Amino acid sequence: MQKLWIKGGVPLEGEIRISGAKNAALPILAATLLLDEPATISNIPHLKDVTTIIELLGILGVKVTLDESFSVHVDASDLSSFVAPYELVKTMRASILVLGPLLSKYGQADVSLPGGCAIGSRPVDLHINGMRAMGAEIEVEDGYIHARAKNGLKGTRIVLNTVTVTGTENLMMAGVFAKGQTILKNAAREPEVVDLANFLKSVGADIEGAGTDTIVINGVTRLHSSHYSILFDRIEAATYLAAGAITGGCVKLKDVEPEMMAAVLEKLSEMGAELTIEERAIQLDMRGKRPKAVDIETAPYPGFPTDAQAQFLAVNAIAEGVSTVKETIFENRFMHVQELVRMGADIHVQGNIAVCKGIEKLHGAPVMATDLRASASLVLAGLAAEGETIVDRIYHIDRGYSCLDEKLAQLGANIRRI
């Protein structure tokens, strides 16, 4: 099992390019199942979850070729299967995203239930109930979602009682070939949802309102080819900005869209970071200062992203002052706390609130990653800690970050894979 060795205490300096967004690449690659003509998707991040969904597309019969410049060429014109098997879905719950396109275009799909995951039970009832409302017959048994829509799907008005990112994405894709109009109320507004809508519109789908809480999809009968470039990864960007903050350094990120990171940038300013915003770049300069502690409360976009919570709690662990971090999206997303405490952090969790008293210095320790973003927070803590930190189970990191250790080393970090 690969590990990351980190020797802390080096303020990060330098600039890196941010990759395409994992959480935009996954739904957009799933959406290529709707196409009869080949499409090219560029700026695809090289990470495990993307490899997994490409594997899944391959199992369904999609011809996929990757070229060296992060582009993926997809031809879904001749599928051979409509089954997303357990052994693959269990490694990545976002595989559920093939349900909507397969049902919308082929009227059938058998997708393994994703099962729980470390950060929470993460049910998919909203996906299933929405498609049932569109006329699908769905049986959930022996761990699979068996979905059929012999006469195709029918557009209808769906009110999502919880804001769900992949639920919104799945139902948007289901609406593409549905007869009539599908209206999604209380839809997720995340930039990745908008990126999926933009991709779908680029191949001829009729979608309005993406980015607001009401998305309207008018069914069409055919789609065409497209060459589409994926949005930047705002969570990867937030992670590197937090790395600059926690080490008191100065980092510049390129190929980003600052206006999509308002909640994160506001917290970094509150921490005392000096931010220089350009059209497609963000520079953070701590001028060697220790960050000030900031209170965080996660919320659906445009609120503070739950996927950046663990990273910012790590910064709070060494910040000046006491802070509270409230996690409102998932019921168990504080697994990084125990590991940070083993590095000397003074953090107590009560329900969905972590109370953190900043200390001067964490000390390096052997720690274990439990989920994707918790792992990132442990790496950040290791960058700031005195001494050596070994992060175990870094396959979690490789699922969601492309070349994290290389990019951090580029910024001067003392880090290597062992």
Task: Give dist(CA 187, CA 21) in Å, integer.
Answer: 20
CB 385 within 8 A of CB 343: yes
Please state the separation of Cα 196 from the chain's center in Å.
Answer: 13
| Residue 165 interacting with ligand EPZ (CB under 6 A) | yes
Q: How far is the CB of 167 from ligand EPZ (least distance, A)?
A: 5
Question: In sequence order, which residues have a C-beta less than 8 Å from that of residue 287 and are 6 or more positions away?
Answer: 248, 250, 274
Buried b (16+ CB within 10 A) or exposed e, 259-284: ebbebbbebbeebbbeeeeeeebbbb
Q: How far is the CB of 323 from ligand EPZ (least distance, A)?
A: 21
| Residue 48 interacting with ligand EPZ (CB under 6 A) | no
| Residue 330 interacting with ligand EPZ (CB under 6 A) | yes
Q: Which of 126, 207, 243, 347 binds ligand EPZ (CB under 6 A)?
A: 126
Within 167-206, the residues that bind ligand EPZ by CB under 6 A are 167
| Site pattern 7..36 for ligand EPZ (x: CB under 6 A) | ---------------xx--x----------
Q: How far is the CB of 11 from ligand EPZ (least distance, A)?
A: 27
Nearer to ligand EPZ, 77 or 161 (CB): 161
Q: How far is the CB of 353 from ligand EPZ (least distance, A)?
A: 16
Nearer to ligand EPZ, 136 or 385 (CB): 136
Within 236-275, the residues that bind ligand EPZ by CB under 6 A are none
Q: How far is the CB of 381 from ligand EPZ (least distance, A)?
A: 18
Q: Is 295 helix (H, G, I), strand (E, B) or coil?
A: coil
Task: Give dist(CA 230, CA 32) in Å, integer.
Answer: 13
Q: Quick one: tokens of 42? A: 């560029």
Question: CA angle, corner 231, sides to 225 and 232, nearest 5?
Answer: 150
Within 101-120, the residues that bind ligand EPZ by CB under 6 A are 120
Q: How many residues bind ligand EPZ (CB under 6 A)?
A: 23
CB 326 within 8 A of CB 296: yes
403 catalytic per annotation = no
| Residue 164 interacting with ligand EPZ (CB under 6 A) | yes
Question: CA angle, corner 19, sides to 123 and 207, nearest 5?
Answer: 55
Task: Give dist(CA 6, CA 306) in Å, integer.
Answer: 25
Question: In sequence order, which residues have a C-beta less than 8 Å from that of residue 163 and are 6 or more positions away?
Answer: 186, 187, 188, 189, 300
Q: Which of 30, 89, 124, 391 binds ligand EPZ (CB under 6 A)?
A: 124
Nearer to ligand EPZ, 124 or 345 (CB): 124
Q: How far is the CB of 90 from ligand EPZ (least distance, A)?
A: 15
Q: Which residues are catalytic?
A: 117
Q: Which residues bind ligand EPZ (CB under 6 A)?
A: 22-23, 26, 94, 120, 122-127, 162, 164-167, 306-307, 329-330, 372-373, 400
